[in-house]
Structure 1
Amino acid sequence: MFQFIVRRLLQIIPVLIGVTILVFSLMHLSPGNPAHIIAGESAPPATVEQIEERLGLNDPIPVQYFNFVKDAALLDFGNSWRTSLPVSEELWPKFWVTFELAVYSTIFSIFLGLIAGIISAVRKYSFADVSIMLIALFGLSMPNFWFGLMLMQWFSIQLGWLPPTGWGTPEQVIMPVITLGTMGAAVIARMTRSSMLDVISQDYIRTARAKGLGERIVIYRHALKNALIPVVTVIGLQFGSLLAGAVLTESVFAINGMGKLIVDRILARDFPVVQAAVLVIAVVFVFVNLLVDISYKYLNKRIDLD
């Protein structure tokens, strides 16, 4: 196990290098001069040149990239070009908001998706199975922003039960979590059903039933544990996608998180903030996948990670 973790941590290095190259290239290839945006459209050329010199935009591209990687390795992302505040002061409060939203949405997805998938697999081709799969298909096809607006219309405007926007109180958490977690629940439900049906047909499940074990013990202790391996993979990918793709949900519910920060700073060509935000999301995504791989060993002792 230790060798596996060390090997995976070493594999993170080229992944992060690739991420830094990609985000650095995309930001510098995007149209618009950050110095012009900071100085204003009517600023004289001398002012623009002074800003470019101060920000290091006059340096060769390889030098700019080297400085970016060097500072990132030291966890020093510099100051925002838009506000002149340290990037960490702007990034971390918004990161934790989005991280909480992703965690709560993932928990909601796991809880709802596992229950629905197990019921659907155990009652294959029944009315419950068909209904759950139709609802899951609807959940996969439904745009998050539309579902969020519908929830806001029903529970905030018509019923007045929940606040329409914001983040922090339990009442404000409910609708964004349901909005963001519904699609994940649909994916987990479909994957759980498929994996459970494959495991239930195995010989050792028939043997467990033949020994007289109760159906619940057979399903939850023997079948579910082995069926969770592909489901856990999906959960890890879902968490990463929620962390990186919550911008629409945050916009609908006016949540001041990472998604809104990245979009605003891309438009402002605030390179340090955007590069730091994408790099942080990539690091979290990689470590989540590492935890998913480690969990395989605990779900199935026969898997040799080393």
Structure 2
Amino acid sequence: MCATPRGRSLAIKAFMLCASLGSKGRFWSRSGVIGSTAFGLNNERHRTAQRQADATTFPPAEADQSLRRFLTLTVMTRFITRLIWSLVTLLGTAVLTFLLINLVPGDVARVIAGPKASAEVIQQIHARYHLDDPLWKRLGHYLRELCQGDLGQSFVTNQPVAEAIRTRLPTTTALAGLAIVMWMLLAIPLGVLTATRRGTWVDRLVLVGATLTLSLPAFWLARMLQYWLSYKLGWFPVAGFRGFAHLLLPAATLAILAVGYYARLIHTSMMEVLDSPYIRTARAKGLSESAVLFRHGLRNALIPVVTVLGMDVAGLLGGVIFVENVFALPGIGTLAVQSVFNLDVPMIMGVVLFSATAVILANLIVDLFYVWIDPRIEQAT
């Protein structure tokens, strides 16, 4: 073949092509190995030198520290951004609440002084609380005092709003905290139990119970429990607050309203987690069923539950308002209802701002709580 001119030309082109590919490290023989041994050695030296240069330029320890600094900076940036938007939300809440209350028809001075007050007394109240000033001027005066930490004074009792909230905060906090503990202690076992027995009568019974408890009004359930368990049977105090025993029935009322929903939420989350590959791996290793469910499954299943719990603070405060008034507890809910009936504008705005702050802080705490509950976030930070 090479004897013809065309054959010699093809042979020369093939040789030149092989030489070109061999110089670039892409010349392969029929057996699949590099055709040039010398080039293979040179290529190995090149890779060794490149690894040494990379090790000199980017040490693993420094790269790991750089990654940690970057992740920490990312988390801090996200937290600061959330904090800034939280302040914007509080400012918007303050402005909106002020406008809604001050645009309601009626004379606040007449409510403060009473229906039989003289014109001079009404005029003095208008001058004292700047009620004759334009709306924008009163708003600026309110925001200026708010930035200084002054929520104003009550129109009815002349008590500082911040002091009134601070006095009633322990009762409301104890009630809400005890209710959360109660319903989580019931919801977690029920959710895990129904997830492991899906489709059985236990699962259907919990589903029906969850639907019923979600449909109950808070004030009606509080009245029923108060009448039967306190007044009729005498198991709990009827009303008032003198100790821990007076919080048990109000907290149980709030827990009954929420336990069914959280049991179903944990049930749904646990079913998704139990179908994960790492759960099958844990079972294949011979771990006990309780270790698989509670050590590996429940911790990951609680992540969406914690998210919903942070967002449910607003709903919990709404339930606390009704329950505290039914059981005559000296909390912030009772204070809110009294201030609305008395048209106590500073107290209403102070309670609304406190509620908005509680919701925002709860969501920020949930973000920080993720670091403990989610191992992936913990390793990243």
Return the TM-score normalized by structure 2: 0.76
1:149 equivalent in alignment to 2:202: no
Name the structure 1 match of 2:265.
191
Aligned counterparts of 1:259 and 1:32: Cα–Cα separation in 2:
24
Question: What letter corresponds to residue 285 of structure 2 in structure 1?
Answer: K
Aligned counterparts of 2:239 and 2:297: Cα–Cα separation in 1:
42
Name the structure 1 match of 2:23.
none
Cα 1:80–1:168 change in 2 (3 A) is same
Cα 1:239–1:103 change in 2 (3 A) is farther
Deviation at 1:31, TM superposition (A): 2.6
SS in 1 for 2:340: helix
1:1-306 superposed matches below 5 A: 1-303=75-377
Number of residue pairs matched by the alignment: 306
From the CA coordinates, give the structure whose radius of gyration is larger.
2
Q: Conserved in 2, the CA contact under 8 Å of 1:113 and 1:186?
A: yes
SS in 2 for 1:184: helix
Deviation at 1:303, TM superposition (A): 4.1
Question: What letter corresponds to residue 61 of structure 1 in structure 2?
Answer: L
Question: What letter corresponds to residue 63 of structure 1 in structure 2?
Answer: K
Deviation at 1:176, TM superposition (A): 0.2
Aligned counterparts of 1:108 and 1:25: Cα–Cα separation in 2:
39
Superposed CA deviations along residues 66-125 of structure 1, whole A, max 9, x for unmatched, are 222222222212221111122223221122211221111111121111121111111111
Question: What letter corresponds to residue 81 of structure 1 in structure 2?
Answer: F
Q: Conserved in 2, the CA contact under 8 Å of 1:99 and 1:243?
A: no
Q: Which stretch shifts more, 190-199 or 26-35?
A: 26-35
SS in 1 for 2:376: coil
Deviation at 1:287, TM superposition (A): 0.7
Report the RMSD for the aligned CA atoms in angstroms: 1.8
Aligned counterparts of 1:172 and 1:280: Cα–Cα separation in 2:
24
Superposed CA deviations along residues 27-47 of structure 1, whole A, max 9, x for unmatched, are 112232110111222333343
Superposed CA deviations along residues 222-248 of structure 1, whole A, max 9, x for unmatched, are 111111111001211223322344121
SS in 2 for 1:79: coil
SS in 1 for 2:158: coil
Deviation at 1:2, TM superposition (A): 3.0
Q: Conserved in 2, the CA contact under 8 Å of 1:98 and 1:258?
A: yes
Unaligned runs of 5+ in 1: none
Question: What letter corresponds to residue 134 of structure 1 in structure 2?
Answer: V
Aligned counterparts of 2:249 and 2:297: Cα–Cα separation in 1:
33
Superposed CA deviations along residues 114-166 of structure 1, whole A, max 9, x for unmatched, are 12111111111122212222222121111222222222222222221211111
Question: What letter corresponds to residue 133 of structure 2 in structure 1?
Answer: D
Deviation at 1:195, TM superposition (A): 0.7
Question: What letter corresponds to residue 95 of structure 1 in structure 2?
Answer: L
SS in 2 for 1:302: helix
Name the structure 1 match of 2:14.
none
Q: Conserved in 2, the CA contact under 8 Å of 1:81 and 1:271?
A: yes
SS in 1 for 2:279: helix
Aligned counterparts of 1:252 and 1:135: Cα–Cα separation in 2:
24
Unaligned runs of 5+ in 2: 1-74
Identity of aligned residues (%): 35
Q: Conserved in 1, the CA contact under 8 Å of 2:254 and 2:319?
A: no
Aligned counterparts of 1:251 and 1:276: Cα–Cα separation in 2:
19
